[in-house]
Chains A and B, each alone.
Chain A
Amino acid sequence: MPETSETAYNFAYLDEQTKRMIRRAILKGVAVPGYQVPFASREMPMPYGWGTGGVQVSAACLTPEDTFKVIDQGADDTTNAVSIRKFFQKVAEVAVTEHTNEATVIQTRHRIPETPLTEDQILVYQVPIPEPLRFLEPSEVETRRMHALEDYGLMHVKLYEDIARHGEIATAYAYPVTVEDRYVMDPSPIPKFDNPKLESAALQLFGAGREQRIYAVPPYTKVVSLDFDDYPFDPSKAPHPCALCGAEHTYLDEVIVDDAGGRMFVCSDTDYCASRQAEQAA
């Protein structure tokens, strides 16, 4: 493995032993879709909470031939996306891109790109709390038991109580899904608008560094957002078009533009928005 001149660290920072350990966890995750595989997460040179799980999964997946893209909140130029991209440029010397269709590995925080992914791509999610039942049951011992027994009654009661109280399911992001009719899974804090995109041609890997868990949704896996027959899942978004590219089918950021509370809505996926604008200009 080449050592980069600048760092003297192994390719993609982690030693090969650690990468092998992570790859085993990934393979197990792929074999049991939606199941949270414990792994011996390492301290990374960025803080827990900054995407250490995603960074470790990316490090275990990247090869020198890969083209890497990092987004945070849908954008390539948010500070932490810049920081993670620079990290891998330094320790892995991989090619990087901002274009979704050019990337082979995409690390993301809080969004799924608008451009449909292909079988040649891997989407790596940064996950803060991998346990979808955590806010209903704080004990890990207890939630692991509930998953083992497929005991998801508590979750359905929570969704039902939401409807009784608010008239709808009051979860707007990190909306729980059932994977391949078995495990209830937290899709990471993506807006529920992105949930339908979880059924994808690409391999999707989820890394939670601090909580020491990896899980996966293999290509073309069935992913169903939890709902009730009479209250079907609704992937809502702000009822506006993008002010920059005019898209009506994308997730939007609300931007406050003046002191008087004036606001506009623009695509959160900056690459998607920019390519649409370029097409329109051409």
Chain B
Amino acid sequence: MIPELGHFALILALAVALVQGTLPFVGAARNDIRLMALGGTAALTQALLVILAFGALTQAYVASDFSVANVVANSHSAKPLLYKISGVWGNHEGSMLLWALILALFGAAVALFGGNLPDSLRARVLGVQALIGVGFLAFLLFTSNPFERLSPAPPDGNGLNPLLQDPGLAFHPPLLYLGYVGFSVTYAFAIAALLEGRVDAAWARWVRPWALAAWCFLTCGIALGSWWAYYILGWGGFWFWDPVENASLMPWLAGTALLHSAIVVEKRDALKSWTVLLAVLTFSLSLLGTFLVRSGVLTSVHAFAQDPARGMFILAFLLLVTGGGLALYAWQAPKLTAGGLFQPISREGGLILNNLLLCTLAATVLLGTLYPLFLDLLTGNKVSVGPPFFNATFVPICAPLFAALCVGPFLPWKRAELGPALAHLRIAFAVSVVAAIVAAAVIDGRATLSAAAFGFGVWLIAGSLTEFIVRVRRGRLRTMPRAAIGMTISHAALGVVVLGALATASWQVELIKTMKPGDTAQFAGFGVKLESVVPLQGPNYVAERATIALTAGGAPYTILTPERRLFTVQRRQISETSIHTNLLRDLYATLGEGDAEKGWTVRLYWNPLAPWIWLGAGLCALGGFVSLSDRRLRIGAPRRSRAAAQAAE
């Protein structure tokens, strides 16, 4: 009964979304207040209905209702409660429902907290949101119904992919979708602005908090996914340039560019049509990610069960949303009055350089991700585009970006000179050069690219802090806007990420050894002893657990207990790593194949600064949230930024 209620709620939600996607537009065109106000009511109703549907599916999972086909395919009665719940979005249909839910929630948030928007703009934004919702709800109902029944109901389910039974991955998709879908609001604002033919400073102020909130969530989502890959895939890597990872990186890069270009629109009334284009592209790249993961045009470790029919639907939807947006853009954007003059050396010049480089990075990732597909279709040749390619093309473009990042905030608007800005940064520059030299001398013994990259990481931190200190020295701490504090945090945090990623990738120490209980080894200054390997019975798996004792200078240091788990329902083996961290380095152990006779393959890694990758990413998002709490945003949008803060919880 409850699944049918959920299904029915979804159908109603589609009907409501259809109303919300048409009448407010008519209202805005005729300046009819009643029709425009309908948008808000419809958005709230739609959200309630989708919440109901999502609740119904969650109930089916928690209660292990095996008359629902989706539950059978992705759950099992012996699964821990957390993974029964996360199983709801651990599959194609459920994750689409989660997507629709978040979309409806963002629509409701605009309705609730967008009271200060002009009526027509709000009506149009809600209308666009609803049209996107129509697409997703129709997709769910016509191709991916999560409430489909199975008769007769089997006694138990097939279980969830063991890789997904992990706390990190349980929360990765919701955060990622909050980011992807959050950019639907900026898209809706862009379309509404194109329809009204007006983009101004006020528009930029309204858009920025939404872009910022989405960006923060996306940052957290990507970081959580990378952390998960780090400890589950078992060889200490944290970013693999897999198509699905790239799919989340592209909207992040475009969204970061959007955040920066919106500032130029707000302060200088320039870059208007470019900012609108970025808003359209950022959400389009989010949709592109969905298409790549679900259509089966590319293969990936993370991809869902793939189906060309669904692929066609998403492609059509992608074309409607992106193509519609871009066509409207081609038609209306030339009418947007171009802003004032800009000088290459100025704050806005710096922000344009930022946009140029970030967009080049996004284009590089896009090209690298899709090139195997292009080449195969055109010539039949198969190529692989892997990490070495991205290291050779992506990283060099980061260098000027990082170099300019610390200089930009020192440049005044309109017209500036480089001299004074660089003078402020003398100390930061000296510190980073010394850091690079020390890294070259101490760690590598020779000057390498890694040492230079180390210098860049230090430069980002030192340069960002310098800007903060200069402000404080001028006695502006009290009056300093939160946005400026947030900027300092995020910029410096980027340096922390760079240091962590670089150190782990360049200076990792490893030990791969076949060991029997009682065997000892030396590793990164530690004594290693494999104490024992014992069998273990988990709730839905059996495992072997190794106990590895590490000693430092003869004294016991720590015990690592990596496991190799065999999930009984799916017959899949997962290696459960064991990590000891002191925030400066990780000691990382995995247990490989083996038996008592031949011994087990034990892998140990010493990953310097590895925790900084996720620490930095978290700080980066924190900077975004601090910026979101800015007074100016609250004055401009008193209730809306509170919404974003609530959504953050």
A, B assembled together = no
Binding site for B on A (CB under 8 A): none
Which residues of B pack against A, CB within 8 Å? none
